Amino acid sequence: MKPLKFRRKTLALVLLAGMSATASAQMMINGAGATFPYPIYSKWFDEYAKVDPSVRFNYQSIGSGGGQKQILAQTVDFGASDGPMSDENLAKAPGKLLHIPTVAGADVVAYNLPGNPALKFDADTIAGIFLGQIKKWNDPKITTLNPGVSLPDQEIVVVHRSDGSGTTYIWTDYLSKISPEWKSKVGTNTSVNWPTGIGGKGNEGVAGQIKQTPGALGYVELIYAVQNKMPYAEVKNAAGEFVKPNIQSVTAALATADIPEDFRFSITNAPGKDAYPICGATWLLVYEQQKDATKGKKLVEFLKWAVKDGEKMARDLQYAPLPENLQERVLKRIHEIKI
Amino acid sequence: MEIATPPAAASLAPRSAAQAMVPPSRFGDKAFEWLTLAMAMAVVLLVILIGWQLWRGSSLAVQKFGFHFLTTSTWDPVTEQFGALPFIYGTLVSSFIALLIAVPLSVATAVYLTELAPLWIRQPIVSLIEMLAAIPSVILGLWGIFVMIPWLRDYPFPLLKRFFGWTPFFSGPIYGTSMLAGGIIIAIMILPIITSVSREILRSVPNLQREAAYALGATRWEVTRIAVLSYARKGLFGAVILGLGRALGETMAVTMVIGNTPQIAASLFKPGYTLASVIANEFTEATTDIYLQALFEIGLVLFGVTILVNLIAQLLLKTLTTTSTTRAVQ
Amino acid sequence: MTMHSSRADNHTWRKIMNALASATTFVSALLVIAPLGLIFFHLLANGASSVNWAFFTHLPKPVGEAGGGMVNAIVGSLELLAFASAIGIPIGVLGGVYLAEYGTARANALLRFVADVLNGVPSITFGVVVYGLVVLRFKGFSAYAGGLALGLIMVPLILRTTEEVILLVPNGYREAALALGVARWKTIVYIVMKTASKGIITGILLALARVGGETAPLLFTAFGNRFWNHNLSEPIAALPLQIFTYAISPYDDWHRQAWAGALVLVTGIFCVNVLVRILTRGRTTSAV
């Protein structure tokens, strides 16, 4: 009898769990994707739980590739990506997908060296390192850019993403623009065939790897480097200036962008002497026609809040908010979502 | 847990006796029998379901890449070229390293526990090994990242490099996260299973074998070597193969320490990638259909290989003992 | 004389070999259990101080902010296990009953074989299959999907232990009941299974302890959740999943919590194992 009794108990537990589900009217809206804006999104969703306690936004940072994939498969209510979706993928979507830009951020070159010296890189050097041609920290290409810094005779441990990633998209988009060799050998995508290095899962994973590995160098979103007190490099931009990645230099890059109607744009290697060259915007991906009216309504309410109020939190987390004229264009687009 | 193993004869007896005295068939009896049969058949259905789902999910990739999928080493989502060779290589090499470390240790431990150890110490050690088996993979991975990798990077790896750096296996830069680290963490994960299955095997060696050797004046070790080990050779091989099956499918701990880079490199200090890890990392993120299909195909390969390896292990073990291994298998 | 001394040498040599073998195998045994000691030490050293009130009562904080806890992941894991039990236990137990009480020897040998092979299938495979069968079909990650994946992993484990303990029930019990005219199925349920109940529960507990620590099958099924969720058709947090996410992150505070979570998880699993030990201890002396 005991096993039966035991089973009855578990059954009762399951029923109880099911009942409590129907009892709590709290709605769950699920999203997944980019890890690049994850710090600000998780802040938004935390704050928004106070604005509208009847709904929770569960966001899993599985990578931009994942965001695109899961919204296409409709396994989530919204996706998130910092690489715009390709025409090919958009065509596969069961409905029209909208790109809603939220904030812009920077891919920084973060590293782990004894003493954490401040370093400078230019496009050639970065491409060389990621192509596996510059192997040591004391390579002449690095030392000439950084006179006065003593660099060890140590292998550079390149860290890149192992998952499909918008941070990678921005990074490879930049490398493809500045290095023909990169463009022909590797190309631009959310995940690529890396010539060298070790893989980490998510911005979190890459930052974690860099932190754990002496001699490591990799790319992460600015906030991950700042929050983890990792050093990150100044990078020479298209105008020939060395620029530190920060809100101003990202905003400067964003200002140069010519933004089309569908909001898919790239701001890597932007002109302008204050612009940081490796930055990009990040998007939420939502269907124009929402399947579920109640969820859709809440989602639209949230999007409006994000563009109006959420943007104000961007600076605290080192993201550049959208310029005001763009905010208005985005709001207009949000109004077009059909519920 | 410790369950007394029934003598094989006794385990067969109840069925035949009970069947002989079945009362005239009743509806309840039939229904119950069918119900339990359906549940027992669930395991067969499950295997078929897994195979079918993986096959269905990967059919396009199978068509597109054919046999080349297993022999090419490009894993390029941009050009949509997918070859699983680096993952197959990584899985085999990391599992091989794991076996190299785990097999001698486990078999020696099993010998110690069944033949040589003082009686009072046996049960405590067995309990500890069972506890090691109960540690979840993800926790071993956590420990791997923060404790094992920094330690390996600072002490054993530089030593290996100093003494064996001239071989291709221990050359090149030391990252910490590496094929070797992956192999070591898998070794820790399969130590308990190989030990406990080996122990069951050794325990199933008839005492007559030992007594005969003792009668000839052999020492304990000689008894073990001549009478026990040679008798149990096939079963021990089964235990090793079973451990291999586990090693091939280990996922979380390996993913956390192996470096996740699809490359084929001789140096064990270089990062690698395994079949299970690439699924864990990329499965939710594959943007294009063919990419996802390729991952399903990797799942299919992994499933096929582990089924095959387990099949061989079970066959090797079954011929020796009928009931005693089943428990240890868990 | 020479012959005698060489025989003596031989004898000493054999004694040395014997001692050497004992020593080597003893050291091996120590090496096998060493990782357990090390892991325990580090779990306590890094996790114990963070297992506090907040850990058991708070939700996770937004990324990069210190503090918060894992209460939703702990409860989420329990809910997943409850749902997994609802699938794994009936199938496993009744399947085990079939193997022990019915079926031809040949067919049973095959079923047993398949169950053992299934036991060796990597757990991530179950995640992939459930993703294809449930997540894609019903358009959404959910606790159901996660629980199903775990439940399916439980089936062969429970099936085999149930079979074994039912085979241990003395035949006289069955004969006595049948002789009294009790229907066979009632004999099995009320006499045989009852007698073997401790063993069956032991098997169930061990299966729960095993899947309670599984992470790989949850990656694409339960998916994780930063908030409370009791709706099983939505994604849900799980302790091992949360430990994984936190472990690979760069945040020191998350590392701290990953250790704490790991300590809680391991403690839970060991408690179950101790419970099993207590349950099985009396058994060798009692009827079964």
Total of domains in chain C: 2
Residues C14, C108, single domain; the answer is: no
Average pLDDT, chain B: 88
More confident residue, B14 or C41: C41
Q: What is the largest CA-CA distance in chain C?
A: 89
Both A32 and A58 in a single domain?
Answer: yes
Residues A53, B251: Cα–Cα separation, whole Å: 38
- A53 with A128, same domain? no
| β-bridge mates for residue A200, sequence order | A161
Residue C198 sits in the same domain as residue C161: yes
Residue of A nearest to B289 (CA): A69
User: Does residue A22 carry a pLDDT above 90?
Assistant: no
Q: What is the pLDDT of residues A61-73, one digit of tens each?
A: 988 989 999 999 9
Q: Report residue B296 CA to chain centroid gap.
A: 21
What pLDDT is recorded for position B27?
84
Give me the CATH number covering residue A203: 3.40.190.10
Higher-confidence residue of C161 and B328: namely C161
- Which residues in chain A touch residue B150, judged by CB atoms under 8 angstroms apart? 212
Percent of chain B with pLDDT over 70: 89
Domain boundaries, chain B: 54-326
Q: Which residues of A touch C232 (CB under 8 A)?
A: 17-18, 21
The reply to whether A264 and A154 lie within a common domain is yes
- Residue C64, pLDDT score: 81
Judged against a pLDDT cut of 80, whether residue A5 lies above it is answered with no
User: A17, C135: Cβ pair inside 8 Å?
Assistant: no
Closest approach of C32 to chain A, Cα-based (Å): 27
Task: Quote the number of domains for chain A.
Answer: 2
What is the residue range of A81's domain?
A: 28-104+282-335
pLDDT at residue B19 in the model: 53
Which candidate from B117, B147, B222 shows the least CB-CB separation from C14? B222
**Measured between beta carbons, which residues in chain B are less than 8 angstroms from residue C35?**
132, 188, 191
Residues in chain A within 8 Å Cβ distance of B260? 162, 198-201
Among B269, B241, B253, B249, which Cα is nearest to B102's?
B241
pLDDT at A113: 94
Distance CA A122, CA C83 (A): 55
* Claim to verify: residue C218 and residue C267 sit in the same structural domain: yes
Q: Which chains touch B (3 or more CB pairs under 8 A)?
A: A, C
Q: What is the pLDDT of residue B317?
A: 87
* pLDDT for B46 beyond 50: yes
pLDDT at residue A19 in the model: 45
pLDDT of residue C8: 65
SS (H, E, C) chain B: CCCCCCCHHHHHHHHHHHHHCCCCCCHHHHHHHHHHHHHHHHHHHHHHHHHHHHHHHHHHHHHHHCCHHHHCCCEECCCCEECCHHHHHHHHHHHHHHHHHHHHHHHHHHHHHHHHCCHHHHHHHHHHHHHHHHCCHHHHHHHHHHHHHHHHHHCHHHHHHHHHCCCHHHCCCCCCCCHHHHHHHHHHHHHHHHHHHHHHHHHCCCHHHHHHHHHCCCCHHHHHHHHHHHHHHHHHHHHHHHHHHHHHHCCHHHHHHCCCCCCCCCCCCCCCCCHHHHHHHHHHHCCCHHHHHHHHHHHHHHHHHHHHHHHHHHHHHHCCCCCHHHHHHC
CA dihedral B130, B132, B133, B137 (to 10 degrees): 160
**Residue B139: CB atoms within 10 Å:** 27
**A127 and A270 fall within a common domain:** yes
Q: Which chain A residues have a beta carbon less than 8 Å from that of C223?
A: 30, 32, 60
- For residues A127 and A161, membership in a common domain is answered with yes
C13 exposed, middle or buried (CB, 10 Å; 0-12, 13-18, 19+)? exposed
- Between C64, C135, C233, which is nearest A75 by CB? C135
pLDDT tens figures, C162-218? 999 999 999 999 999 999 989 999 999 999 999 999 999 999 999 999 999 999 999
pLDDT of residue C279: 86
Q: What is the reported pLDDT for B80?
A: 87
Interface A:C, Cβ pairs < 8 A: 131
- Taking the C-alpha atoms of residue B6 and residue C19, their distance in angstroms, rounded to an integer, is 34
Task: Give the chain C residue whose CA is nearest to the CA of A45.
Answer: C62
Q: Determine the structural domain holding residue C205 and report its residue range.
A: 56-280
Q: Specify the pLDDT at position B286.
A: 79
pLDDT at B12: 42
Identity of the residue in A7, A17, A224 whose CB atom sits nearest the CB atom of C230: A17
Rounded CA-CA distance B34/C244 in Å is 42
CA distance B58 to chain A (A): 17
The pLDDT of residue B328 is above 50 = no
Same domain, A111 and A99: no
Condensed to tens digits (0 to 9), the pLDDT of residues C3-34 reads 455 666 788 999 999 999 999 999 999 999 99
- CA–CA separation, C176 vs A192, rounded Å? 70
Contact A192 B177 (CB under 8 A): no
User: Does the CB of B246 have a partner CB in chain C at under 8 Å?
Assistant: yes
The B residues from 184 to 203 touching C (CB cutoff 8 Å) are: 188, 191-192, 195
Region C149-156: mean pLDDT is: 97
Rg (chain C; Cα; Å): 25
Cβ of A70: how many Cβ atoms within 10 Å? 29
Task: Say yes or no for a CB contact (<8 Å) between B177 and A209.
Answer: yes
Tokens of B86: 């680096």
User: In chain B, which among 141-160 make CB contacts under 8 A with chain C?
Assistant: 141-143, 145-147
Q: Lowest-pLDDT range, A14-28, A147-161, B165-179, C217-231?
A: A14-28
pLDDT value at A7 more than 80: no
Any domain includes A5: no
Q: What is the pLDDT of residues B194-247, one digit of tens each?
A: 999 999 999 999 999 899 999 998 999 999 998 999 999 999 999 999 999 999
pLDDT higher than threshold 70 for residue A165: yes
Q: What fold characterizes domain B54-326? A: MetI-like fold (1.10.3720)
Q: How far is residue B110's CA from residue A199's CA, in Å, rounded to a whole number? A: 38
Comparing CA positions, the residue from B242, B230, B249, B264 lying closest to residue B85 is B264
Report the residue of A19, A198, A204 to disrupt the C interface, i.e. the one with the largest count of C CBs within 10 Å. Answer: A204
Q: Is A18 a residue whose pLDDT tops 70?
A: no
Looking at residue A279, what is its pLDDT?
93
